Chain A
Amino acid sequence: MRKSFDPTTMLSHITVDKVGVEERVARFQTRSIKSESKLQGLKMVLNMIDLTTLEGKDTPGKVQQMCYKAQHLHDVHPGLPCVAAVCVYPSMVGTAKKALSNSSVKIASVSTAFPSGQSTREIKISDTKFAADEGADEIDMVISRGKFLAGEHSFVFDEIAAIKEACGKARLKVILETGELSTLDNVRLASDIAIHAGADFIKTSTGKIQPAATMQVTYTMLMAIKDYFDKTGIMVGMKPAGGISTSKLALHNLVMVKEVLGNAWLSNDWFRFGASSLANDVLMQIIKTETGLYQSTDYFSID
């Protein structure tokens, strides 16, 4: 049965202390990580990446190539994990499905008129159903930011609930596009709405708008997940996406997840990075940690 929106019980009505968030986030960035743990952390990061291509110029060839990379990150160095998933447009799900048939890598598809979300409910639902029918394991939807900012919270809630229904077995990630929400209070509010409407994951950004996944925003969303878990015992996943292109930033994010939510979230079932260039930087760091030599992009695959 589809849930209906009840602001009094569902929203935390918490106002976010921006200065406090910034201070807490700054502390996550000062943790000293020893090289042995760093290596484990980097491998964990690799295993949490949603390798992403979301461009107008995407072709089946590009997607096939990316799917190959998802399974063979850097074959000259054996023993590396593969990424968690590939993330593509609905029209490319079929191609990705075929390319990943014998692999543990999942297929995530964006939907609901990504990235703007400016379309009708019917189109968004059929967009989602199409992606799910093509074989997507995960659906990344965008919320209607215009409606949200206009205060039509029940519209946003109902839309997420409807898409959740259309997903079938696929897990639903809800993109808040925090770069358009202006304040951390709005981020918290949107997180609460998405979580209560049935999101399996909440995700920061489409990657098309700056700023994207800043640590402040991710922290605010992690706190929403924590409060919901404390209240209900239900886990919700988190996916920062956009702007995380260095290993260092990725490790800071892992530290934050561990300290806010705990070890249970340190797996790609509950935490993902949406990124296109992060994987290469992490690979270069892994090789650097093992050989002591700083690496060059010349020796790693381009996509």
Chain B
Amino acid sequence: MDILKTYKIYIGGSFPRTESGRYYPIADATGKTLANVCLSSRKDVRNAVVAARKAFGGWSEKTAFNRGQILYRIAEMLDGRKGQFIDELMDQGISKSKAEKEVEQSVDRVVYYAGWADKYQQVASSVNPVSSSHFNFSALEPMGIIGIIAPQENSLLGLIELAIPAICGGNTAVVVASESYPLCSITFAEVLHSSDVPGGVVNILTGKVAELAPALAGHMDINALVSCPLGELQTSLALSCVENLKRNFIYTDPNRQGLNFITDLQEVKTTWHPIESIGGATSSY
């Protein structure tokens, strides 16, 4: 007997149904219904943000090394369930070769950012020359909660490419999954759930981008909004972001891998520390 999987959303480390009780069907290429997926509401966004804020303190204070270990664990778990992800992508009408490539690349990306976790700080921080007797240095700090609108195509890879660098840098995330291909996002939530990622660090909602994205953009407790081009919606989202001076990143280049995906979501803190002289022959350093 086939057991049909119930796809729920992922908030605060548990898998609730949407509070609105609404669903929408996902069909395969032949039009046969594959699954009913939660049509999340503004209130689910609110609950996810509360969970993300609660998780932020603990996650951002973990050591960079530990975050790297946890990210690497995600890659391991993802790799172990490759077959399931490939099947799921193919069910949604993606060709076998494309599906395999997408899952391969997904694992690859997670490993890439796992490696960066305890290195981006050294690379992107700086000691700055100043013309007074101060030791002046700039270091990165996570922004807080990142609202992420995953791209519609490459539903698994795209989600990973936007969400993993955010949490790599100590942020927590509220992700709106691909509207048309949402199945992998919830299976990926199961991967996160079994990878020592604390509940609330990544929260994943399925539903209409046009309904959920404005709720993210207008939310005062979200510190940055990350998306790929969204067409007409883009302008109104940008306007909503103004209310709390939320940063609004739109990644147009389809090649989405690099250090800047981490550092974009970091604030820079510069410290002036009074000291005699730096780097000179008589310096105490």
Which residues of A are at the interface with B, using a C-beta cutoff of 8 A? 292-299
In the complex, A214→B96 CA distance in Å? 55
16 contacts between A and B (CB under 8 A): A292-B218, A293-B218, A293-B220, A293-B243, A294-B45, A294-B215, A294-B218, A294-B219, A294-B220, A294-B221, A295-B221, A296-B220, A296-B244, A297-B221, A298-B220, A299-B244
User: Is A299 touching B218 in the complex (CB atoms < 8 A)?
Assistant: no
6 smallest beta-carbon distances between A and B, as pairs: A296-B221, A296-B220, A294-B219, A293-B218, A295-B220, A294-B46
Q: Most chain-B Cβ atoms within 10 A of its Cβ — which of A293, A294, A296, A299? A: A294
Which residues of B are at the interface with A, using a C-beta cutoff of 8 A? 45-46, 49, 215, 218-221, 243-244
- Please report whether the interface of chain A is mostly helix, strand, loop or mixed according to DSSP: loop
**B contact residues around A295 at 8 Å (CB):** 220-221
In the complex, A292→B46 CA distance in Å? 12
**A contact residues around B220 at 8 Å (CB):** 293-296, 298-299
Q: Most chain-A Cβ atoms within 10 A of its Cβ — which of B218, B221, B243? A: B221
In the complex, A296→B219 CA distance in Å? 8
In the complex, A78→B149 CA distance in Å? 36
In the complex, A134→B46 CA distance in Å? 45
In the complex, A293→B219 CA distance in Å? 6
**A contact residues around B219 at 8 Å (CB):** 293-294, 296
In the complex, A20→B37 CA distance in Å? 37
**B contact residues around A293 at 8 Å (CB):** 218-220, 243
In the complex, A293→B46 CA distance in Å? 10
Contacts A294-B215, A299-B244 aside, 4 further interface pairs with beta carbons under 8 A come to: A294-B45, A294-B219, A295-B220, A296-B221
In the complex, A295→B218 CA distance in Å? 9
In the complex, A238→B49 CA distance in Å? 34
**A contact residues around B46 at 8 Å (CB):** 294
Q: Looking at the complex, which one of B49, B215, B221 makes contact with A298 (CB distance below 8 Å)?
A: B221
**B contact residues around A292 at 8 Å (CB):** 218
In the complex, A208→B49 CA distance in Å? 29
**B contact residues around A299 at 8 Å (CB):** 220, 244
The smallest C-beta distance from B58 to any residue of chain A, in angstroms, reads: 17
The smallest C-beta distance from A120 to any residue of chain B, in angstroms, reads: 44
Q: Report the nearest A residue to B43, measured CB to CB.
A: A294
In the complex, A299→B219 CA distance in Å? 12
**B contact residues around A297 at 8 Å (CB):** 221
**A contact residues around B215 at 8 Å (CB):** 294
In the complex, A297→B220 CA distance in Å? 9
In the complex, A299→B218 CA distance in Å? 14
**A contact residues around B218 at 8 Å (CB):** 292-294
In the complex, A297→B45 CA distance in Å? 17
In the complex, A297→B223 CA distance in Å? 12
The smallest C-beta distance from A280 to any residue of chain B, in angstroms, reads: 13
Q: Report the nearest B residue to A292, measured CB to CB.
A: B218
Q: Most chain-A Cβ atoms within 10 A of its Cβ — which of B46, B243, B244? A: B244
In the complex, A296→B218 CA distance in Å? 11
Q: Report the nearest A residue to B217, measured CB to CB.
A: A293
In the complex, A292→B45 CA distance in Å? 13
The smallest C-beta distance from A224 to any residue of chain B, in angstroms, reads: 35
**B contact residues around A298 at 8 Å (CB):** 220-221, 244
In the complex, A297→B219 CA distance in Å? 12
